Amino acid sequence: MPKLSDPLRPVVGDKAAKRLATLGTGLRTVGDLLGYYPRRYETRGELTDLAGLRDGEHVTVQAMIASVSSRPMRNRRGSILEAVVTDGHGTLTLTFFGKGRQDWRERQLVPGLHGLFSGQVSTFRGKRQLAHPECELIGSGAPDSAKAAEFASELIPIYPASKDIASWQIADSVRLALASVEIDGDPLPAQIRDRYGLYGYARALSAIHRPEDMRDKVRAEHRLKWDEAFILQVVLAQRRRVSTEYIALPRPPVEGGVLDEFDRDLPFELTAGQRQAGQTISADLAQAHPMHRLLQGEVGSGKTVVALRGMLQVVDAAGQAALLAPTEVLAQQHHRSISQMLGPLAMAGQLGGAERATRVALLTGSQGSAARRRALLEAASGSAGIVIGTHALLEEHVQFADLGLIVIDEQHRFGVEQREALRGKAAEGRPHVLVMTATPIPRTVAMTVFGDLEVTELTELPAGRSPIATHVVPAAEKPHYLDRAWERVREEVANGRQAYVVCPRIGGDADADAGQAGGNVLAAGPAGSRAGGPSGAEEEGFDIADDGGFDFGDLGDAERPRRPALAVADVAAKLQHGPLADRRLGVLHGRLPPDEKDKVMLAFADGQIDVLVTTTVVEVGVDVPNATAMVIMDADRFGVSQLHQLRGRVGRGGHPGLCLLVTEAPVGRARERLDAVAATQDGFALSRLDLEQRREGDVLGAAQAGRRSSLKLLTLLKDEELISQARQEAEELIGADPALAGQPELAAAIAALLDAERAEFLEKA
Ligand code: ADP
Ligand code: MG
């Protein structure tokens, strides 16, 4: 009897094996074929909704033959046979071209019969058609007994098919494989199957292809999802375990150190979440193996101070901490605010420095050579307990005296390799690592995408935060709303507050489209209809659109011709000469020289600029509590999570925040996303929305290569409970049996998965 690992050919025959090898990534073994699950199931007698078909799709539909007609071709020998099929409402034309008469086909396609028809959808003279489809008539009295069995079932599996092989041909091969294969083992440990009442492996594989009814199918699917979740979680648990076997210098808290001083003088009270996260991190740092923790939290939840307290604990234990920021603006801001929060505690060796103090160094790619030399020296000598920087910190010649902790702010800009590069910089053992997310993501996603990290969440905001009122400003339909928006900005400024105006594009000298960006800044009119143009957001050398972040700039009305996105330079000029004349405007974007950027940010933080016209360079982390209003131009060109992140810049002080999402997008999908942002301030909910709109593979692929191939049925968002259970079970199993000595089938399944990942990785490289 063939096993799952055996080749398909002897089981399904030469011809079918050849065709199956063209499907997906190539079905070559019995296991490959049985792992090729139906895309959906047709209920016998229930016809496919034909209105849902789209041109270019390869489809398999169940429909009833309504009429058949044939005519000779006009200019050539041969005939055209047309069969019209229906779902009871709409129709679809099946067209067959024949060299001669096609009487045999006409006899076969009897009106009233139901059948499955498979082919590529196209439109011809306004009619939907399938040209030369594959046909399989249902209940046409096929005498063969295997077929009869097929017809006895209510549910017909519909497989993702291709032009070379139709769905029911795949089903035929599956039937042959199921009838002969011998499945004895089960990758899922028996105690787990028992605990959760799961189907055995053989039964699940059979039922996913040939379910008796919907219940049967659901149970099969559930069991096979377990396989996917569990195998993945076992791999991740193994990786976490390996990392705990690395050595790190323990950095236990020291009484009467800088941290204690800092806590005593903290101007606010930590939230319960901050305290709890602090304790967890403190305990991690005291261990003799490296911490690998993800700290994720709502925008404005105060992650920085939690990280800083960890850094100070390491400093007290005679080590150094590095803080890695994704942009120069953010690195500079961290340097400023951390130096300020520490005050005399950051002034070791200086006049006015505290007795127990350290120093904070800043290292960026663009600073002057004198400043840079000083920072490098402070890092290497150990006199700087905290070194803050951009990816310049990763460079080879940057050395630390005793690097104990790496904090990575706004994770999604940094890849796994970059984390590794920093890890190599510890003198002894490995440093502890704390990663912070820019955008909160659902826990199951975090557990999977950052599965080698432990996850800690900050869900509450510090007390006294004012809500941010968010409104959509439909500039095309309601021009006076836009006037009102600028009026609101003027009011904020009149009250001594500040505002951001965010645009998707830099413009001006910085790009070739200078001067062409039309759009409506001041008053609304019809949008220009020039197609193309840049879209989404650009910034800072890290291209936000493809950094694995959550950009949806191009979702929605992809077909709508669009003018170029509004640009900082043009908007600033128009505001200065129009609605915001006499206000102090500043301009900030990623292509300004670094010292200029810093100067602008400083001036804004210092209240010398009323309104900052900027790109998404302020998206992450920027913290100016006096800023209360934000107007986001062309808001539909940003992703949901990005908008949430952006508006997190206002309402940070005691004053209520206001965020206006200006858009010319017509009511539709793009507008719904904006409405969603306006309707909730829950970042976790919004990131779910973002994730729901992306394909699963993109979510996984963004962070780690390969993983997409292993998830066929599991969806991270809908199967949260299952994933949590699987993670717990995996953790327990690896704790008790790290090498999986007692689980040979599970070990084999994992080896196969890792092989496939490696193969995919090599292919990409
Ligand atoms: P995020 O989590 O988005 O990175 P930050 O760390 O930038 O947020 O914190 C936002 C602001 O909240 C900062 O100005 C910080 O000083 C302040 N903050 C942090 N924790 C508290 C707290 N417990 N009470 C009051 N303000 C706080
Ligand atoms: Mg932050």
Cβ(180)–Cβ(1) under 8 Å?
A: yes
CA 206/CA 174 separation, integer angstroms:
9
Number of neighbours of residue 146 by Cβ within 10 angstroms: 11
Angle, alpha carbons 648-650-651 (nearest 5°): 105
CA 85/CA 68 separation, integer angstroms:
9
Helix (H, G, I), strand (E, B) or coil at 436: strand
At 118 the pLDDT is 84
Compute the distance from residue 305 Cα to the ligand 1 centre, in Å. Answer: 7
The finding on whether 670 has its CB within 6 A of some atom of ligand 1 is no
The rounded Cα 462 to chain-centroid distance in angstroms is 27
Q: Which atom in ligand 1 lies closest to the alpha carbon of residue 409?
A: 4
Compute the distance from residue 626 Cα to the ligand 1 centre, in Å. Answer: 14
Angle, alpha carbons 59-60-66 (nearest 5°): 110
Sign of CA dihedral 311, 313, 314, 315: positive
CA dihedral 470, 476, 479, 484 (to 10 degrees): 10
At 621 the pLDDT is 65
Q: Nearest ligand, CA of residue 300?
A: 1
Give the ranges where 495-579 is alpha helix by DSSP (H): 568-576
Q: What end-to-end distance do the CA atoms of the chain give, in Å?
A: 38
Q: Whose CA is nearest to atom 19 of ligand 1?
A: 302
The finding on whether 649 has its CB within 6 A of some atom of ligand 1 is no
Compute the distance from residue 325 Cα to the ligand 2 centre, in Å. Answer: 9
Segments in the chain below pLDDT 70 = 139-153, 410-423, 427, 449, 508-561, 619-621, 693-710, 756-765
Q: Whose CA is nearest to atom 12 of ligand 1?
A: 302
User: How far, in Å, are 84, 360, 393 from residue 331 at the CA level?
Assistant: 66, 12, 11
CA 651/CA 657 separation, integer angstroms:
4
At 515 the pLDDT is 32
Nearest to 694 by CA among 563, 549, 573: 549
Cβ(163)–Cβ(22) under 8 Å?
A: no
The finding on whether 605 has its CB within 6 A of some atom of ligand 1 is no
At 543 the pLDDT is 29
Per the DSSP assignment, residues forming a β-bridge with 93 are 84, 129
CA 659/CA 471 separation, integer angstroms:
6
Work out the widest C-alpha separation in the chain, in whole angstroms: 102
At 211 the pLDDT is 93
The finding on whether 271 has its CB within 6 A of some atom of ligand 1 is yes
At 632 the pLDDT is 96
**DSSP 8-state symbol, 186:** -
Q: Which atom in ligand 1 lies closest to the alpha carbon of residue 341?
A: 16
The finding on whether 300 has its CB within 6 A of some atom of ligand 1 is yes
1, two tokens: 């009897």
The finding on whether 297 has its CB within 6 A of some atom of ligand 1 is yes
pLDDT in tens, 120-149: 899 988 889 998 888 888 765 444 445 545
Q: Whose CA is nearest to atom 4 of ligand 1?
A: 303
334, two tokens: 């961290």
The finding on whether 299 has its CB within 6 A of some atom of ligand 1 is yes
Nearest to 29 by CA among 54, 62, 4, 47: 4
Helix (H, G, I), strand (E, B) or coil at 748: helix
CA atoms within 13 A on the CB side of 19: 17
Instruction: Report the interhelical angle of 683-693 vs 640-647 (nearest 10°).
Output: 160
Number of neighbours of residue 272 by Cβ within 10 angstroms: 10
At 757 the pLDDT is 63
Helix (H, G, I), strand (E, B) or coil at 244: helix
Number of neighbours of residue 728 by Cβ within 10 angstroms: 12
Helix (H, G, I), strand (E, B) or coil at 138: strand
**DSSP 8-state symbol, 358:** -
The finding on whether 536 has its CB within 6 A of some atom of ligand 1 is no
What lies within 8 Å, CB to CB, of 244 at 6+ separation is 289, 290
Class of residue 128 by CB neighbours under 10 A (exposed 0-12, middle 13-18, buried 19+): middle
The finding on whether 302 has its CB within 6 A of some atom of ligand 1 is yes
Q: Whose CA is nearest to atom 5 of ligand 1?
A: 302
At 691 the pLDDT is 74
Helix (H, G, I), strand (E, B) or coil at 586: strand
